Structure 1
Amino acid sequence: MGEEDTFENFKCLKLYQVTLSKWEVGEESFPKLKKLELEGCRKLVEIPPSFRDIWSLKIIKLVESPQLEDSAMKIKEYAEDMRGGDELQVIVF
């Protein structure tokens, strides 16, 4: 999955035990995404910052991926500043 790939109809994306350490996507890659769920992605260093520009994103759920909480919170803070309001939830298990 590269920066130029587009998944126009994805509304939910769940990655389970992905072994990537770095992930790059463009904000155009998931224009209708509402939920991003990352489970057991222990090697992944951060959620790509481009997710902050996906205005349809409402939920980031992290399960057994505590190292991603910082980047998820940065995305949430940016979304709050740009959109005004608290529309994006970050859920950590």
Structure 2
Amino acid sequence: MGVKFEFFRFFKLNYYAFYVKKEKFYTFLHTTTAYSLVGLTIYLGYTFIHMWNDAVHYSYKHYIRKEVRPKKEKYNDTYKIWKGNIFIL
């Protein structure tokens, strides 16, 4: 009699080993997903705070520009008056 053909000769199907590998894979998937979600939350929090800070800074610059313009105009007007009153000898 010859050697019988064994389909899974080098790959023996052990359901317990398959279950353990499956559970390890699920654990890896779960931890990877958890760390990814924590990282995403930190990234989005940082982005939100950074965008908020930029918006506040932009509003502040606009407010300062609006407040400084009349003061500069007043200064320029008084400078023109003084310049007109100076006698050149």
Give TM class, smaller chain: under 0.3
Is the radius of gyration larger for structure 1 or structure 2?
Answer: 2
Structure with more of its chain in strand, by fraction: 1
Higher relative contact order (CA 8 A, sep 6+): 1
TM-score of the superposed pair, with normalisation by structure 1? 0.21
TM-score (norm 2): 0.22
